[in-house]
Structure 1
Amino acid sequence: MNGASPPAPSIADELEELGEELRQKALPGERLIETHRRLADESRERRRRGDLLDRIAECLPINIFAKDSEHRYLLANKNVRKLAGRENTEVIGKTDFDILPEPIARTLRASDERLRANGGMQVEELAIEPAGGEKRHILVGKTLVRSEETEQEVLIGFSIDITESKRLERELRDKIALIERQRAVIRALSTPIIEVWDRVLTVPMLGALDSARAGALMEDLLADVSRRGARFAILDLTGVEAMDTGTAAHLLKLVQAIRLLGAEGIITGVPPSGAKTMVALGLDLAGVTTLASLREGLWYCMKRMRAGAAA
């Protein structure tokens, strides 16, 4: 028995086969076109980011730079070029020794070498002296990164001129020192420590007496009692206009501290407001000599010293 012959392909089938064959042959070309399109898009994006970074570098009021492993400039914004006094074409590919005075170039090269030796992020203050110009202070920050294209280390960094800030800082320190000296003079004038007699000190106080002023008085008076070997220290409050509760307690502690140094503390001229404050606080004044006036305090010291001499 004869077998049936296969049916002849239709025109539609032949066209489908031909189309599939053409598609297979065209696929590599389509892939090539797609790859080219993708690479072109990536190139445009890199250029766009590069242009943006360039504009940022040119606009920022700081020096921005990059150097290769041979210390040659790969990038230098307009502030770097202005510092060097050169055009971009005269900076790129050059070293600091090619574009800057030798003393400045040596300072910058030493800074770069420290970074390459230590790695990490380096921030330091450098002093440079332009030829014929004033000494300048710059704050430099830099680090090392690896280039994606060359696989080499690239030094990138920035620097800021802080000369004016340093000048203002010095002026501020000088003003603070002057204020401290003036404060010490005012303190000495407001609570002068006077040696009115051999080994007899007097502290006439004027105006308002607060805790801060009483604390400073304790420090100065105890130092003088010890240095002069004083026998008596008279705290005269005749000119004190007012005192707070903390001050009253502080004065009592001062008298006790004077006693520990082997001297006797005497309080004279306590104002009515001060007496009221001390009573209200319940301070124990049993061991404290209090007299009405500075004159009585001086007489007291003289009599005690004569009695001691006679004995």
Structure 2
Amino acid sequence: MREAPPPEPSVPSIRDELEELRDELRQKALPGERLIETHRRLAGESLERRRRADLLERIAECLPINIFAKDSEHRYLLANRNVSKLAERESSEVIGKTDFDLAPEPAARAIRASDERLLARGGMLLEELELESAAGVKRHLLVGKTLVQSEQTEERVLIGFSIDITESKRVERELRDKIALIEQQRAVIRALSTPIIEVWDRVLTVPMLGALDSARAGAVMEDLLADVSRRGARFAILDLTGVEAMDTGTAAHLLKLVQAIRLLGAEGIITGVPPGGAKAMVGLGLDLGGITTLASLREGLWYCMKRMRAGAVA
């Protein structure tokens, strides 16, 4: 009788042994292989850092602003192309230099004073500086800066940016000048539309024309009271003969004006009240007994002359 052949090893058991052997080899990896792995990892991190640094450099060069960094001795550690243009130097001539090496002394003093303000207060400093180049060209800069600590040296580093706002300042100045001119023209127009005339010694008259609204009545009140006080007027005649329209709000302004004139020691007289104005005044429901109203400017002038003569005789 033949003997039975021995059983063949099962496939799963061989695979298990191979896995165990592979794990054992991993645990007994040579130091050189570990160094290679570490080198690859560090190389990958270094490549990522270089990629980020290159991206930041491109951003700094492409943006239309000045970007810079200075050490504790105010020497430039970093300056983008725009800073070099502002200093009228090559980039290599900016690094390691101070503002006193790169700019005229008045501009350098202004920049240094700005840096000192940041060092004294800390935080973030945002301000405007006016600097003059060696050629005498004045530039306005909006400057922002702060302090950070270097990871390598633990030194405080001043980093910042500046934006040339010279053109916007010029536009702003022109706009202010135009607004001032408009205000002057408006004052002239207002004076021409409601002139205050001294028709007799200490007798003022204000002939009003066109539509009379509350805003215009308020302006007349301000100007007339100032003239009454300045000239020591005794009478002030408000002639409404040429007024086309007047509402109750305007009528209230005129009545207040007459009362204010009385407080200054003068007498306010209203002449030539149009029908619409009379209706507006009556609609206020006020007692008009103490206010002198006459039909025309001529009557108003005669009234003032008689009162002055009577006072002189007395």
> TM-score higher than 0.5 here?
yes
1:270-281 alignment, distance < 5 Å: 270-281=273-284
C-alpha RMSD of matched pairs (Å) = 2.5
Tell me if structure 2 keeps the 8 A contact 1:249–1:283: no
Q: C-alpha deviations, 1:32-86, integer Å up to 9, x for none?
A: 4554343333222222221111111111111111112222222211111112233
Counterpart CA distance in 2 for 1:91 and 1:203 is 70
Shift of the 50–15 alpha-carbon distance from structure 1 to 2, 3 Å rule, reads closer
- Map of 2:119 onto structure 1: 116
Q: 1:12 to 1:60 in 2, by over 3 A?
A: closer
Q: Does 1:303 align with 2:310?
A: no
Match of 2:173 in 1: 170
Contact between 1:193 and 1:202, CA under 8 Å: does it hold in 2?
yes
State the 1:195 CA deviation: 1.6
Q: Residue 84 of structure 1 contacts residue 99 of structure 1 at CA under 8 Å; is this kept in 2?
A: yes
Aligned to 1:195: 198
2:234 to 203, 222, 231: 231
Contact 2:198-2:205 at 8 Å conserved across structures:
yes
Structure 1, residues 196-234: CA drift from partner, whole Å, max 9, x if none?
Answer: 122211111111111111111111111222222222111
- In structure 2, C-alpha distance between the alignment counterparts of 1:97 and 1:226, rounded to whole Å: 59
Tell me what 1:57 maps to.
Answer: 60
Q: Distance in 2 between matches of 1:309 and 1:301?
A: 12
Q: Which amino acid aligns with 2:116?
A: E
CA distance, structure 1, for counterparts of residue 109 and residue 276 of structure 2: 71
More divergent stretch after superposition (144-153 vs 95-104): 95-104
Q: Which letter does structure 2 place at the counterpart of 1:99?
A: L
* Aligned-pair CA distance for 1:121: 1.2
Residue 158 of structure 2 aligns to a residue whose secondary structure is strand
1:35–1:293 Cα change, 3 Å: same
CA distance in 2, matches of 1:17, 1:276: 113
Q: Does 1:94 align with 2:97?
A: yes
SS in 2 for 1:284: coil
Q: For the structure 1 residues 43 and 205, does the alpha-carbon distance in structure 2 shift closer, same or farther, using more than 3 Å as the test?
A: same
TM-score (norm 2): 0.87
2:128 match: secondary structure: strand
Within 1, Cα distance between the matches of 2:208 and 2:23? 112
Distance in 2 (CA, whole Å) between partners of 1:29 and 1:198 is 114
Report the residue type matching 2:169 in the other structure.
Answer: K
TM-score (norm 1): 0.87
Give CA deviations for 1:75-127 in whole Å, capped at 9, x if unaligned: 21111111223332222233323333444333323322332232221122222
Partner amino acid, structure 1, of 2:230: R
| Structure-2 residue corresponding to 1:249 | 252
For residues 263 and 310 of structure 1, the distance between their equivalents in structure 2, rounded to whole angstroms, comes to 19
Alignment correspondent of 2:263? 260
Please identify runs of 4+ aligned residues in structure 1 that moved more than 4 A. 10-21, 27-34
Aligned partner of 2:162 in structure 1 is: 159
Pair 1:67 & 2:31 matched: no
Residue type of the alignment partner of 1:118: R
> Match for 1:71: what amino acid?
H
In structure 1, what is the equivalent of residue 44 of structure 2?
41
Shift of 1:240: 1.1
- C-alpha separation between the residues in 1 aligned to 2:282 and 2:21? 119
Q: 1:147 to 1:23 in 2, by over 3 A?
A: same
Identify the residue that residue 141 of structure 1 maps to in structure 2.
144
Secondary structure of 1:98 counterpart: helix
